[in-house]
Amino acid sequence: MRLALFALAIVGKSTQVPRPSALGRILIQMGIPDPVETFEGSFYGVSAAVELNMRTRVAHVRLNGVPLGGRISGTGWLKDPESEAGTVVLEPSFERRLARRYVSIYSAHLCRKHHTVTVNVKIPILGLMALVLS
């Protein structure tokens, strides 16, 4: 029983949205809004839009298209909140909706120089793909 509770505690912690850094909390207290950038792109009839909070690196993702069966949206963030590339963690409900459509999001990379976000996904029939949003 203890092992099961411990496992649930670990799983629960890994799906929480990362907290803002100390500087982020100070800026929030000062009333300075978070800078949010929008990145968009499309591939094979699916349009993707990502609203990325540049301070916390939490992204709101909107996907729309017939291959997905309509619209899907949710939130995701990098496993390491201090980096700009790496493994993506999705909110559980968003991850389940994607899994029903056999879609997985593995990693993402923010390139400030080119103002792009590259998302590595696995989709049915096509396999692994890199989607570049600008």
> Quick one: tokens of 133?
């949003």
Chain mean position to CA 63: 12
- Confidence category of residue 8, pLDDT binned at 50, 70, 90: very low
pLDDT per position as a tens digit, 86-134: 999 999 999 999 999 998 998 999 998 999 999 998 888 888 888 999 9
pLDDT of residue 32: 62
Q: What is the pTM of this model?
A: 0.74
What pLDDT, in 10s, does the model give residues 44-97?
888 999 999 888 888 999 989 887 788 999 999 999 888 889 999 999 999 999
Phi, psi of 19 (to 5 degrees): -80, 150
* CA dihedral (107, 104, 47, 91) positive or negative: negative
Q: What is the mean pLDDT of residues 8-15?
A: 44
Degrees to nearest 5, angle at CA 77 with 75 and 80: 165
